[in-house]
Structure 1
Amino acid sequence: MSSRDQFASKIGFILAAAGSAVGLGAIWKFPYMAGNHGGSVFIILFIAFLFFISLPVLVAEFMIGRRGQVDAVTSFKQQAPGKPWYLVGYLGTIMASLILSFYSVVGGWILSYLIRAFTFRLKSGDSESFEQLFHAIIQNPWEAVFAQGMFLLITIGIVQAGIKSGIERASKWMMPTLFIFFLILVVRSLTLPGAMEGIRFMFVPDWNQLNWETVLLALGQAFFTLSVGVSVMITYASYLGENEQIGSASIHVALMNIFISILAGLVIFPAVFALGFQPDAGPGLAFVILPAVFEQMPLGSLFVILFFILLLFATLTSSISMLEILVSVVIGKRRTNRVRIAWIGGLLIFIVGIPSTLSFGIWSDVQIANKSIFDAVDFLTNGIGMPIGAFFISLFAGYYYKTSVSKQELNTHPLFYYVWLILIRFVTPIAILIIFIQGIRNVF
């Protein structure tokens, strides 16, 4: 343990882990999912599922990582010698790398918007003009690939610096800044005439919107929002001191994720309703509707810049965790240089991600199972890889660990422990199977 880099403080670990979870899922996907599926009803279901389905897996990953104090693959090998559980670590490493390959595509779009905002070239005045701009950006192969590369360069630069000097320092700087920018945008959104309609949409449930589709989508959003299933949290917890309390750390990460998701809604929905737009704009909400909304506000250009800086920070805090798991595994196997592996791994992920980047432009006709390359990789990771990984992590922590081991590792109040044990053994695996089966059904 003495030779392994560790987080300097518990708050540094929590901010890094929360940053991994607080990504595009919380700020980009959550608002348009809620907007399309009942607003407050979706939000209530999301919060309930996050605590009872996703949080137990997060606790399990923290437990496995902190107990192992090594990379995800080696951790399973050491804790289950001679058994194939280590394949879960390899699966997570591959899935995290693939996620980053298309996640960096969206990170590149954010950089393109941010550069235009800083140079005052993001003024169009209405959603139709911003929609044309969005398509122009994602369909331009040179700009899209270049922006994707720039986003990965920033990610590599943080990861290659190590845990304390890179990931922890960046998280301690970006996460508080993200909160401050969010609060500024929330205050501005809530002071718009007519903003109360957006508040009602978020917090006054219309139970007529409750249906099986809303339940399944809220379940899926809650499951994916904490970055579980790809061993990212196992990797982060491996840099955590053995005396840290992982139960409270897990709850803090979950609460921060909920808080950010609610703040995202408070930025978006009051402004959208106040200025006459619709909340069900789908994935284009962040890149088409919101710029048009901000442009209609006084000092709109400033708020556009703040929003895309916020979005960039959230995306980076997730991307660094996805590259770190690859770096951690390779270093663990070969004891080689972190800087070299970060650059080589980032370059390979960049190359793998180019087809996803081009799938909106010159390769838009290429289909895999009736999906674009981008959507196919998204489904492979989020629809197949993550549920499988989370399922086996649940079984490992719930059944392979003896209760004496898991009780010692969790080191918490007996009630919390036994509730976690019931959830991780019985509730979470069933929920994950439902998500997995529903995802497969949507394809076929």
Structure 2
Amino acid sequence: MNKRASFATRMGAIAATVGSAVGLGNIWRFPYEAGQNGGGAFILVYIVCVALLGVPVMLGEFIIGRSTHKNMKGALLQLSPGSSVYRFTYVCILGAVVTLGFYSVVCGWVLEYLLRAIGGGMTGHTPQEYSDIFSGFVGSPWRCVLWTLVFLMVNFVVLRRGVERGIERTSGIMMPLLFLLLVIFCINSLLLPNAMDGVRFLLSPDFSQLTWKGVVDAMGQAFMSLTLGISGLVTYSSYFKDDAPLARDAAIIATLDTLVAVLAGVMIFPAVFSFGMQPEAGPKLIFEILPSIFQQMSGGMVWAVLFFVLLLFASLTSTISLSEIPIMFLTEDRHMSRGRAIAWTAAGTLLIAVPSALSFNVLSDVTLWGMNLFDLFNYAASNVFMLLGGLFTAVYVGWFLDSRIIAEQLTNRGRLVSHVQNYTIVCLRYVAPVAVVLIFLYCVGLI
């Protein structure tokens, strides 16, 4: 029997898991949410939510994965023999494939814009022309599908190399470079005229601007930014070594994920305010406003290339972790070779990705509940699968998992002193379920 794969080093495991958490939402959503909801006040609430919701649920997934060194289904079968609780694995796998499918479309956009920037196509246009360029791109069926396929091919080539040589090595290179690029961008932005206006928009605490909506947004962002609920962290933690300090690593991962989001804001909003642009969120910020800013900077072509390289790193490390969820299940539960499991995962992903890419053009008239297919898959992933998975993890680990297993994992079988066991259990039993239900009720418009 082949020895099960694992991360070779603790730093490699942390880099891979941070890469799993850091994604486009850290860059195009968090800074804007902070600026619109009281700046530093939102960030403070967000940090509290990470501590009370994000880290405990992350630890719950770590405990399930590291205690068994198996995929989600195998772990639940081992931890709860004779129970049908393992069936929730299929919800997690479906959630991972749906998320990977629609998210890879945006990653394809990043790849197209990176190559466009390298070719000099990101300079010399008016703001309206940048908007027209983006509209023309997403309106082209073959270009959207092509770049989605190219990105997925890159993603699966990395995964074909395995856990240590593929996932760990790629994350170990990309994550330090991502932080380096962020710091370089931040320094450049802070040296621009009127940069402090952008810093104040992001960081100045104004609790009068922090509404109930802002608090729930902070809870949702804390939960979704860490990619909780679809067993990605169960998968990665199953590759952790038995001497990894789970509580300490969870704190490091959550801190670095938050740091990326804050640095992204420092990178973006001083530049936005310096050039008299309006702060925005989402694709409009990334593909229209920032290219317009870069072309006004000295060396704008270089800045545009570096920015889309940064986005590519954030995109790829996230999709690698999403892909590994079904791949690991198929190799362990269905006894497939890794190559065959990757092929099946790619096929399932394309069933979501291609309609998502076409929902901006030839399938734009196809809507369900008022949403096109891309928005529908996005909504299902964020507001259904992730929240259901997070609720499951909190309730299962907090109420049903043997507390001795929790203690063993947090103390590495007595080799470490842990002061967070009771804290983790209380948060999983009471805080996390209430928070997840509130987020869900808010998302569906009931509160």
Counterpart mapping for 1:21-420 below 5 A: 21-411=21-411, 413-420=417-424
CA deviations 1:91-137 (Å, max 9, x no partner) are: 11110111000000000000110110001112243322211111111
Q: Is 1:36–1:279's contact at 8 Å kept on the other side of the alignment?
A: no
Q: How far apart, CA to CA, are the structure 1 residues paired with 2:46 and 2:319?
A: 23
Query: 1:282 and 1:109, CA in 2 relative to 1: closer, same or farther beyond 3 A?
Result: closer
Q: How far apart, CA to CA, are the structure 2 residues paired with 1:160 and 1:94?
A: 21
**Farther-moved stretch of structure 1 (99-108 vs 416-425):** 416-425
Q: 2:437 aligns with which of 420, 430, 433?
A: 433
CA deviations 1:322-374 (Å, max 9, x no partner) are: 11011000001122210221133113312321111111111111111111111
Alignment identity in percent?
36
Query: 1:34 and 1:280, CA in 2 relative to 1: closer, same or farther beyond 3 A?
Result: farther
Letter in 2 for 1:275: F
Letter in 1 for 2:314: A
Q: How far apart, CA to CA, are the structure 2 residues paired with 1:334 and 1:423?
A: 35
Letter in 1 for 2:442: Q
Letter in 1 for 2:48: A
Letter in 1 for 2:152: L
Query: 1:281 and 1:116, CA in 2 relative to 1: closer, same or farther beyond 3 A?
Result: same
Q: Is 2:36–2:209's contact at 8 Å kept on the other side of the alignment?
A: no
Q: How far apart, CA to CA, are the structure 2 residues paired with 1:200 and 1:441?
A: 31
Q: Secondary structure at the match of 1:415?
A: coil
Give TM-score scaled by structure 2 length.
Answer: 0.96
Cα deviation, residue 419, structure 1: 1.4
Q: Secondary structure at the match of 2:70?
A: coil
Q: Secondary structure at the match of 1:286?
A: helix
Q: Secondary structure at the match of 2:363?
A: coil
Q: How far apart, CA to CA, are the structure 1 residues paired with 2:126 and 2:209?
A: 30
Q: How far apart, CA to CA, are the structure 1 residues paired with 2:240 and 2:85?
A: 22
Q: How far apart, CA to CA, are the structure 1 residues paired with 2:428 and 2:396?
A: 10
Q: Secondary structure at the match of 2:405?
A: helix
Q: Is 1:229–1:389's contact at 8 Å kept on the other side of the alignment?
A: yes
Q: How far apart, CA to CA, are the structure 1 residues paired with 2:88 and 2:281?
A: 37
Cα deviation, residue 172, structure 1: 0.5
Q: How far apart, CA to CA, are the structure 2 residues paired with 1:183 and 1:268?
A: 12
Kindly tell me the number of residue pairs found equivalent between the two proteins.
443
Cα deviation, residue 413, structure 1: 4.3
Q: Secondary structure at the match of 2:117?
A: helix
Cα deviation, residue 154, structure 1: 0.7
Q: Is 2:98–2:349's contact at 8 Å kept on the other side of the alignment?
A: yes
Cα deviation, residue 422, structure 1: 1.1
Query: 1:185 and 1:163, CA in 2 relative to 1: closer, same or farther beyond 3 A?
Result: same
2:428 maps to 1:424: yes
Letter in 2 for 1:427: V
Q: How far apart, CA to CA, are the structure 2 residues paired with 1:49 and 1:90?
A: 28
Q: How far apart, CA to CA, are the structure 2 residues paired with 1:34 and 1:372?
A: 27
Q: How far apart, CA to CA, are the structure 2 residues paired with 1:121 and 1:356?
A: 26
Cα deviation, residue 284, structure 1: 1.1
Q: How far apart, CA to CA, are the structure 1 residues paired with 2:183 and 2:300?
A: 16
Q: How far apart, CA to CA, are the structure 2 residues paired with 1:36 and 1:331?
A: 45
Cα deviation, residue 223, structure 1: 0.8
Q: Is 1:152–1:350's contact at 8 Å kept on the other side of the alignment?
A: no
Cα deviation, residue 16, structure 1: 0.3
Q: How far apart, CA to CA, are the structure 2 residues paired with 1:36 and 1:356?
A: 29
Q: Secondary structure at the match of 2:367?
A: coil
Letter in 1 for 2:432: T
**Farther-moved stretch of structure 1 (84-93 vs 215-224):** 84-93
CA deviations 1:389-426 (Å, max 9, x no partner) are: 11011111111122222111111545322111111111
Q: Is 1:88–1:393's contact at 8 Å kept on the other side of the alignment?
A: no
Query: Which runs of no fewer than 5 residues in structure 1 stay unpaired?
Result: none
Cα deviation, residue 32, structure 1: 2.9
Q: Is 2:55–2:250's contact at 8 Å kept on the other side of the alignment?
A: yes
Query: 1:252 and 1:401, CA in 2 relative to 1: closer, same or farther beyond 3 A?
Result: same
Q: How far apart, CA to CA, are the structure 2 residues paired with 1:141 and 1:32?
A: 30
Q: How far apart, CA to CA, are the structure 2 residues paired with 1:423 and 1:352?
A: 35
RMSD, aligned CA: 1.5
Give TM-score scaled by structure 1 length.
Answer: 0.97
Letter in 1 for 2:52: F
Letter in 1 for 2:50: L
Q: Is 2:28–2:281's contact at 8 Å kept on the other side of the alignment?
A: no
Cα deviation, residue 283, structure 1: 3.9
